[in-house]
């Protein structure tokens, strides 16, 4: 009877050790999916809302990162007149063009969280654009929405740098004050970019 209990105990310990080892291996190899669930919620890679669905004028921007990954982004540039009941009305020189007006307004670079995509953050961009009259640049990280690649910590840092480089090279936005705004995972990305 003692031999049976000893063998049974060794068997249980062996099975537990094996299951534990497999679980640790799955966690290790699946950690990027757990940290960067770019396919959550379902359809978030293909169903990407656009700013014009909210009545916002925008430009689709394609960026290439330093490691040659194509990112798809939205740029909402301020206009002299914004016809929306929630828009902050600012005094504007009649002779000023839309680009000249946009150059007088701050630019917000938005870094979204790890669930969803940049299109899910358009209601927040609406607040920056209408209530605060900021230019808004919405970045889609690698592996999110319709951007190429797979997300990783170093990749997201490269994506953030590419967004900042784009804003600083844009002839209209290059001299505007830049505000980095991040939600959830995007907060860490914004802090990293600001610290450089």
Q: What are the start-end ranges of the H helices in the chain?
A: 2-35, 98-102, 122-126, 153-169, 185-195
From residue 160, alpha-carbon distances to 138, 153, 192 in Å are 11, 11, 9
Element (H, E) at 192: helix 185-195
Number of Cβ within a 10 Å radius of residue 28: 8
Phi, psi of 108 (to 5 degrees): -100, 125
**pLDDT one-digit tens code per residue, 133-179:** 999 999 999 998 889 999 999 999 999 999 999 999 999 999 999 99
CATH superfamily to which 51-195 belongs: Alpha/Beta hydrolase fold, catalytic domain (3.40.50.1820)
Query: What confidence category does residue 191 fall into, taking pLDDT thresholds of 50, 70 and 90?
Result: very high
Q: 163, exposed or middle or buried, with CB in 10 Å at 0-12, 13-18, 19+?
A: buried
Token representation of residue 176? 């505007």
* Residue in the block written with tokens 């802090």: 191
Asked if 167 contacts 109 with a C-beta cutoff of 8 angstroms, the reply is yes
Asked if 102 contacts 77 with a C-beta cutoff of 8 angstroms, the reply is yes
Asked if 135 contacts 176 with a C-beta cutoff of 8 angstroms, the reply is yes
In this structure, the strands spanning 70-76 and 59-64 are antiparallel
pLDDT of residue 86: 79
pLDDT of residue 190: 98
Token representation of residue 31? 């950690």
Domain boundaries, the chain: 1-35, 51-195
Token representation of residue 38? 């770019």
Query: What confidence category does residue 38 fall into, taking pLDDT thresholds of 50, 70 and 90?
Result: low
- What is the C-alpha to C-alpha distance for residues 153 and 188, in angstroms, rounded to an integer? 10
Q: Is pLDDT at 39 greater than 60 in this prediction?
A: no
* Of the candidates 107, 108, 74, 80, the residue with the CA atom closest to the CA atom of residue 94: 80
pTM of the model: 0.82
* pLDDT, averaged across the chain: 88
């Amino acid at each position: 009877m003692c031999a049976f209990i000893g063998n049974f105990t060794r068997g249980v310990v062996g099975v537990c050790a094996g299951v534990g080892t497999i679980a640790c291996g799955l966690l290790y190899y699946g950690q990027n999916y757990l940290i960067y669930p770019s396919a959550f919620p379902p359809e978030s890679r293909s169903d990407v809302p656009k700013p014009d669905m909210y009545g916002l004028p925008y430009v689709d921007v394609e960026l290439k990162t330093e490691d040659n990954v194509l990112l798809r982004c939205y740029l909402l540039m301020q206009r002299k007149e914004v016809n929306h009941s929630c828009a902050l009305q600012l005094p504007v020189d009649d002779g000023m063009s839309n680009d000249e007006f946009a150059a007088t307004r701050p630019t917000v670079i938005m870094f979204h969280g790890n669930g969803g995509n940049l299109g899910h953050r358009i209601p927040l961009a609406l607040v920056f654009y209408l209530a605060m009259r900021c230019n808004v640049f919405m970045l889609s990280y690698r592996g999110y929405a319709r951007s190429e690649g797979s997300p990783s910590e170093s990749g997201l840092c490269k994506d953030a740098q590419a967004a900042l480089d784009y804003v600083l090279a844009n002839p209209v936005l290059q001299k505007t004050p830049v505000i980095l705004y991040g939600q959830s995972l995007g907060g860490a990305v914004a802090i990293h970019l600001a610290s450089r």
